[in-house]
Each structure stands twice: as C-alpha cells, then as structure tokens.
Amino acid sequence: MSTQQPTFELRSEEELSLDLIEAQYALKDSQDKKNAKSVLILVSGIELAGKGEAVKQLREWLDPRYLKVKADAPKLLSADETFWQSYTRFIPAEGQIVVMFGNWYSDLLSTAMHVAKPLDETLFDAYVEQMRSFEHDLQNNNVHVIKVWFDLSWKSLQKRLDQIDASERHWHKLHGLDWRNKKQYDTLQSLSQRFTDDWYVIDGEDAERRDQCFAQYILQTLQELPVHQTKVTEKWQQAKIPNELLEPSKQVLDKDQYKDELSKLTKKVADALRYDDRKVIVALEGMDAAGKGGAIKRIVKKLDPREYEIHTIGAPERYELRRPYLWRFWNKLNDGEKITIFDRTWYGRVLVERIEEYATTVEWQRAYDEINRFEQSLVDSQTIVVKIWLAISKDEQAVRFKEREETPHKRFKITPEDWRNREKWDDYLDAAADMFERTNTDYAPWYVIATDDKNTARIEVLKAILKQLKAD
C-alpha cells in the first residue's frame, strides 16, 4: 500500500457531480492542445468490495457518454503474447476517459493463482516491472494512468457472499477464485502487496465513503492539466556517422550468380519464416529509392499471400496523433499474423518526425528507450524482430529519382516531397547514426545493407533475415 494515500472528506453529491462534469469537459476540450491528455483508470481488488458500484456511481456523476468502461474476464498471460497486446486498442485518445475492469494486473493475478501453472515470485515481479515501464511510457505520451485497488476484509467478504442474490453470482468470478477459501483470499492479498504500492487503495466497507473517495480521486486527476514538457535537461551527444552510410559499398553481383542465389535464398527464407514457431517482424528503413519495395517482393516471393501482412507506413492520421505514437504499431500486431513486414516503421519518430520537427525534442530523445522496451517485449514474447536499413549513396539516389520521372510506370514513385527530402540528406544521416547507436541491441540488432547495386542488396536482405532467424 502506498505511504502517500490521499484522504478525502464526504461532499455534497450535487457539488461533486458539478465539479466532475466541469473537469470532464475541460479534459475533453484539451484535445489537440499543449495540455492535452487522456485518463486510463485500472480497477482491481477483492470481489464484492464495490468496484462495479463505484464505477456505476461515477458514471452517474459524470456525463456517461464520455466515460468508456471495458470489462472482460481475466485471462492467463501467455509466453507468446505481450501482456499489453489485447489492451492497446482501448488506450484512450486525448480528452477521453477509459475504465478497465479487466486489465494486465487482473491477468497477472489470474495467472499467479492458476493451480496448474502458478507463477514463481521472480517472474511475477518481472511482470510487474514490465507493466510499470509500459505505464511510464503511456504517462510520457500523455496518457494519465491511475490504478485503484478496492479492498475488503475476509469477514466482510463472507458476509456479502451470504447476502448476494443468486442471479448476480455469475458476475462475481474475478480471477476464477473460490471466495469462500481463506487460503486463496490470503494468497491474493499477499500477491497484491507486491504491486499496489503505487495504487490508490480504497476500503470497500462503507459504500458512501468508497464511492466518494473513488470519484474524488478521479476528480483530482481530471483537474490536473499541465502543459506538456518541452524543455530538454541534458545536452544531446550526436553519434558519429558510420562509414557504411557515408560510403555504401558499390559491390556488383554477377547477374547469373544473382539468379542462382535468389532462387535458393527465397525458398530458404520462405521455409524459415513458415516453419519457425515464433512470429517474425521484418522492419525496413532507409532513404527514399533505396529499394524497400524490391526487397519486400523478394522476401515474399515464395510465400502464400495468406501467410504474411505488409504495412506501408506514412504520416499518422489525425486520430492516431491523439494517442501514444506507438499505438498505431501496437494495433497492427493485434491480429497476431505470424509474419509481418513493415515498409517504414516506428523509427519514423527519431527520423522524419525529428528532422521535420513533428515531434518535440523531448519526445524524440525519449523515444529511443521507449522503442527498445517495445522491441524487448516483442522478443520476450517469442517474436523475432529483423531490422534492416537500406543504405544508398546520394548520387545513386539522384539517378533513380530521374529514372522514375522518365519511366511512365514508375512516375507514381516520385514526388516533389522526395526531392525536398534530399535537401536534408545530412540531417537524415545524423538521425540514422543516433538511431543505430541507441537502438542496436543484442535482441534486435540493425543490419545495414548497401543498395547501390540492387541485386546485391536483395540477396543481402534475405541473408540478414536468415541470420536473425539463425537459419543461415
């Protein structure tokens, strides 16, 4: 339990409701402003402690149209899925409030209490740390996360179980526990002590005080609308640009050798992707005209179209800008495709968004650690992440741009924006250098591939995938 639990006095319900609605609309009106935020309320606790009643009362005091409630039965955490994966689509946008009855902590408790495969303490604590890191990243992206635990003594719980209407019993199966079992109750209480130190704990004995404390705690959060941090506290240390970016290899692969290797490698890659038990994400980045499209064609050449999904990433939509920047990528992984290919990626945050100042300095400098945690969680959940940067020389890019302009079926590939981006070539090199230095990890390394010769590049892309899959 937190040592700094807030305390509240009972208030007039009419006054409390008025303050809540005013704060709710102020939050709603913050959308697209410099103090915009959303509120995510995680609710958990002892059964019959009054969670549902408190949320119901909150809904009556607020404008119910703008309070979303998600309530799902807890599920067991899985080794091949991140704990956040099934919840990210419900992360609120700026100005929204979402209550999650079913959340990652409910899943953690359910998994820890599972008789067949209980979690040991070390793994339990590791999950808690991962969850807190995820919540920290949400907070940094203007999703205010508050966590409320509703507590109830054993004696009161038994009394309420005696009084509960038979028609309502099917609603009260949190964690699938036998709430008549004192040992299970004590175990759950013991487990809750391992993560509720940053939760607001409400005693569910007194219904009026319970509902008011919950509502006033929410009110306190709604009324906090600070302007987003923009001041950088540390001086940025620019990374040295790798030579493989400054002078990409111009090695040329013989045409006949290319055909032979391509035939062998496309089949080998298809088999490796298809028969590996893990999910695979191939993330392609690089300068314009570096050959991402051509590389993708060769990756999927021997795959059935139903086996993979390709996501081409452009500028975020307006509704996406109102959520954490990783949100649109989280949700592209929710369908659980075994093979997912990204033509441009979440690294846009530290590339184009940095250079064009779509992201503040605070945001893009913070993003490296956020991205590393994101990729780490994927790898920990049986996903292979293959990150490939396609390096092209500035001269070769100009040749390809002119070729596109002069070739009817390629003109759609070239726009004035592409030529404008060339003017910021050095800025992109600086950004790429920082990206490599800060996100090249053991679990998700970067593969930098020279593309001045298209045939060589396509072969090297296939080899990189095999290497990361350890299938070479």
The domain locations on the chain are: 13-222, 243-468
Ramachandran assignment for 232, one of left (phi > 0), alpha (psi -120 to 50 degrees), beta (any other): beta
> What tokens were used for 335?
């369908």
- Judge whether 213 and 202 are in contact, CB under 8 Å: yes
- Judge whether 465 and 269 are in contact, CB under 8 Å: yes
CA–CA dist 148, 167 (Å, integer): 27
The tens digit of pLDDT for each residue in 129-138 reads: 999 999 999 9
- Report the CATH superfamily, name and number, of domain 13-222: P-loop containing nucleotide triphosphate hydrolases (3.40.50.300)
> What tokens were used for 157?
């719980």
Burial of 260 (0-12, 13-18, 19+ CB in 10 A): exposed
The tens digit of pLDDT for each residue in 419-436 reads: 988 999 999 999 999 999
Q: At what angle do helices 207-222 and 51-61 cross, to 10 degrees?
A: 60
- Report the CATH superfamily, name and number, of domain 243-468: P-loop containing nucleotide triphosphate hydrolases (3.40.50.300)
**Percentage of the chain exceeding pLDDT 70:** 96
Specify the pairing of strand 339-343 against strand 200-203.
unpaired
How much is the pLDDT for 35? 97
Give yes or no on whether 13-222 and 243-468 have one common fold: yes
This prediction's pTM: 0.94
The tens digit of pLDDT for each residue in 343-402 reads: 999 999 999 999 999 999 999 999 999 999 999 999 999 999 999 999 999 999 999 999
Give buried/exposed letters for 291-329 (b at 16+ CB in 10 A, else e).
bbebbbebbbbbbeeeebebbebeebeeeeebbbbbbbb
How much is the pLDDT for 179? 86
Separation in Å, CA 159 to CA 169, 180, 190: 14, 10, 21
Average pLDDT of the chain, as a whole number: 94
3-class SS string, 410-458: HHHHCCHHHHHHHCCHHHHHHHHHHHHHHHCCCCCCEEEEECCCHHHHH
pLDDT band at 2 (very low <50, low <70, confident <90, very high): very low
pLDDT band at 172 (very low <50, low <70, confident <90, very high): low
